[in-house]
Each structure stands twice: as C-alpha cells, then as structure tokens.
Structure 1
C-alpha cells in the first residue's frame, strides 16, 4: 500500500501501489503543465469508511511513497482513462483499471 503525502501536517493518503503508479503519471503531467485540479478516491480498507477529495496545486509539496521496490508495468489505457477524468470539472477520479482484452 503506497501513500501520497501532500502539504505539511496532513494525513497520508493510502492507495494501492499499482494504482498509485498510474496516478503519479497523471498527476505529474498535470502539475508539469502548471494546472491545479482535484483528486478524489474511496478510502482504503482500514481507514474510516468514506471518500475524500484534495485540491492539488503545483506550489504545494507532494511525495509518492511505494511499498514495492520495482515499478509496475504501466497500463496505457488506464492512464488514458485517468487523464480523461483529470480534464473534467470533477477532477481526477480513481477509477478501476481498464484491462486490455486480446483481439480475436
């Protein structure tokens, strides 16, 4: 289980490593463009039940921490879907992974 630490003195956000690796790509892309946006997710098991949203801004410190030593192979379809949500007024929604289906 990875974490996002955002700003000073805030509780870390717990997100599964694979999902966090994909989110990192999308978040870094938006921040590199100097864009502010929201990120919403359902709370992880063990955290209080519910969902949260944070406002991300390029000037606020951000750290991604992963439990896995090796980075996973990225799923471009999932990144595309996350980028699509990033462009909406609702901001980035942590959606389930889009799996590649083999061509028949």
Structure 2
C-alpha cells in the first residue's frame, strides 16, 4: 500500500502502490503543463474530491520494494479522465499484452 499526501496539512489517500504509480504519471504530466484538475478518490468512508494545482505540495509515498510496471493503456484511460469535465477518477486497469516500463523515475 502506498500513500498520496496532498497539501500542507498532508491530506492522506491510502492506495495500492500500482495505482499510485499510475496516478503519479498522470499528476506529473498534468502539473508540468500547469493544468490543474479535480481528483475524486473513493474509499470505504465515501468519496473525497480535491482540486490538484501545481502550487500545492504533493508526496507519493511507496511502501513496496520494487517499482510497479506501468501500463500505457491505463495511463491513457486515466489521462482521458483527468482531461474530462468531471475530473480524474480511478478507472479499472485495461488488460494489455505486456507492461511498457517500470515506474522508476528517469533522471
């Protein structure tokens, strides 16, 4: 399980490392283009929504020892959600023949 921490008060969103790795790609692509967006996260207590903006601090905390493989089809689906009028919701991962890369950051 990983954790997305958002804002100076550290709003925490607990999720699987694999989901978090894919969200990191989407968040960073949107924010590097200065495109704020709405993010909806459903959990057992309900759904939380937050406005994601480049000026707000974000921490992606992974607990696993290996970076998850990135599914390009899932990134595309999540980006479509983030670009939509209703905002980013985590959609199910589509099946693909093979993952394209790992979530290791490129330096």
Unaligned runs of 5+ in 1: none
Deviation at 1:101? 5.7
Match of 1:85 among 76, 81, 88: 81
Please give the alpha-carbon distance, in whole angstroms, between the structure 2 residues aligned to 1:93 and 1:11. 17
Q: Confirm or deny that 1:6 pairs with 2:6.
A: yes
Higher strand share: 2
Moved over 4 A (4+): none
Render the CA deviation track for 1:59-81: whole Å, top value 9, x for unaligned: 01100001112111100000000
Please give the alpha-carbon distance, in whole angstroms, between the structure 2 residues aligned to 1:34 and 1:4. 19
Deviation at 1:82? 0.2
Unaligned runs of 5+ in 2: 99-107
